[in-house]
Amino acid sequence: MCLFFVTFLVENKLLTLVWDFKRNLISLLSLFYGLMIKIRSCKFFVTEMICNEVNFYQVPVYKMGQMFLYDWVNSHTSVEDFNLFNLDDIDAAFERVQQVKYSQMILLKGDNGLQITPLPAGHMIGGAIWRITKMGDEEIVYAVDFNHRKERHLNGCTFEGIGRPNLLITDSFNALYNQPRRKQRDEQLVTRLLGTVRDGGDVMIVIDTAGRVLEIAHLLDQLWHNAEAGLMTYNLVMLSHVASSVVEFAKSQVEWMSDKVLKSFEVGRYNPFQFRHVQLCHTHIDLMRVRSPKVVLVSGLDMESGFSRELFLEWCSDIKNSVIVTGRSGDRTLGARLIRMAEQAAENPNGAINRNLTLEVKRRIRLEGIELENYRAKKRAEEREATRIRLEASRRNARLEQADSSDDSDDDAVMIVPATNSGILNGKMTNSKHNITSSFSASETNSTTGLKFHSFLVLHIN
């Protein structure tokens, strides 16, 4: 019996370890809320969700986890030929989810005696610390991505009912990070925002899709509503492929938030995510319609794909603009490189800092001439191959059905000798057909238009 928790660490070290386990040993797959911050192999994640028997998530994780993956897939398909999986695969994966509540004791199937209980972890809405027990004797606590401090919209984590477990599993992602006080952090943010927009520049705040973005959007909406802050004359934008869905889901998850938020909602019907100043944008064209100076909450914390990377490439050449990265990602990502660059500048303010970056840029462009013809020929060949596979599967299924029918006929033949006439022999045949579903499928492809994907290098970004 193996409990399998998905937490892809930097450089996929944990992924390599888990991959050595046999698939039939995996009995539980549990997703933690900040998956898109650390996950580097979404194909593995979606495949395991589809193949696994049971997946347990809190209600907000179920909804916001889909938003994370939708945004991630759309970020890739908008600039490259991404075919590892699609939105339908994500939906199929989440259909196998069993939604649970905090402190709900879950008994796993089988005679192993394993029980799991999710407890509030803080940090992100729906995040959980998992308590794992066996027959009431052994206890394991899995605590990753938790925060013991209260947040603007969340309570801190709780270790209710946990004494000294036999094993405590946690992460060290921010072990060396000295978190400043909230007041100091907010003052630094407001100072940077005001300094940039008053000089005529735009601010890009890099954030995740459906996790910490809720807290920062709530904070900025309150700042914009405060006339003394002097920000009401500037535009505040949330940019992602699923911005509207994230906000709507957040409005309906008040019961999962802090006691203060819940009390405000019950007494005054105040919903913290009924934004008054945040404009929701879903495409780059939507963003271009918003007048500058503006502050943009943009999804894609690692800045390896999506709007965060596109906007950085567009805005980085203007010294008036600012980029604020709100979280850490993998060491080799653009977001991590910018953080290291800022740390070096802070440690050595008078020294020379290498500000040149070499980046790969992907764009969709229309095919023309011989490239378009080659693309169409390739698609026609793929369609023929898909048709051949379907025909072979149909023939194979027909042969299997015929063979099963023949076997059943032989097995079910009954010889009857009537008592009144033993010289007559009657045979009774019973046919049994089994429906066999082909494991092959193919999708139709429209090859009237073509797209190709170019990669090139951009040098000397200031």
pLDDT tens digits along 63-97: 888 888 888 888 888 888 887 778 888 888 787 77
Phi and psi for 193 in degrees, rounded to 5? -65, -50
Question: What is the token pair recorded at 292?
Answer: 């500058």
Give me the pLDDT at residue 321, please. Answer: 92
Please state, in angstroms and rounded to a whole number, the distance separating the CA atoms of residues 177 and 420.
96
Query: Which one, of 132, 125, 168, lies nearest residue 147 by Cα?
Result: 125
Q: How many Cβ atoms are within 10 Å of 284's Cβ, its own excluded?
A: 13
Using DSSP's 3-state secondary structure scheme, residue 96 falls into coil
Confidence of residue 411 (pLDDT cuts 50, 70, 90): low
The structure tokens listed for 453 are 């994907």
Q: Cβ-count burial of 13 within 10 angstroms (0-12 exposed, 13-18 middle, 19+ buried)?
A: exposed
Task: Calculate the alpha carbon distances from 168 to 19, 75, 108, 123, 129 in Å.
Answer: 22, 36, 20, 19, 11
- CB burial class (10 A; 0-12, 13-18, 19+) of residue 251? middle
CA distances from 393 to 397, 398, 439, 445 (A): 6, 9, 8, 20
Question: Model confidence over 98-112: pLDDT tens digits?
Answer: 778 888 888 777 657
As a whole number, mean pLDDT of residues 387-414 equals: 76
Q: What is the pLDDT of residue 235?
A: 92
pLDDT of residue 47: 52
> Which residue blocks in 303-422 are alpha helix, DSSP H?
306-315, 334-347, 369-412
Euclidean distance between CA atoms 297 and 311, whole angstroms: 11
Percent of the chain past pLDDT 70, that is, above it, reads 74
Q: What is the mean pLDDT of residues 168-190?
A: 79
If we measure between CA atoms, which residue out of 75, 31, 35, 134 comes closest to residue 306?
Answer: 75
Mean pLDDT, the chain, as a whole number? 74
Please state whether the peptide bond connecting residue 418 to the residue before it is cis, i.e. omega within 30 degrees of 0: no
Mean pLDDT of 309-333: 87
DSSP 329-341: --TTSHHHHHHHH
pLDDT over 90 at 236, yes or no: yes
List, in order of start, the domains of the chain with CATH numbers.
2-170 (3.60.15.10), 182-355 (3.40.50.10890), 358-379+447-462 (no CATH)
- Ranges of beta strands (E only) in 145-215 are 167-170, 203-207
d(CA 82, CA 307): 16
Tokens representing residue 275 in the block: 């934004």
Tell how far CA 277 is from the center of its chain: 27
**Residue 297, pLDDT above cutoff 50:** yes
- pLDDT of amino acid 28: 46
Which helix (H) or strand (E) covers residue 239, if one does? strand 235-239
Of 18 and 121, which is predicted with more confidence? 121
Task: State which of 32-41, 172-181, 351-360, 416-425 shows the largest mean pLDDT.
Answer: 351-360
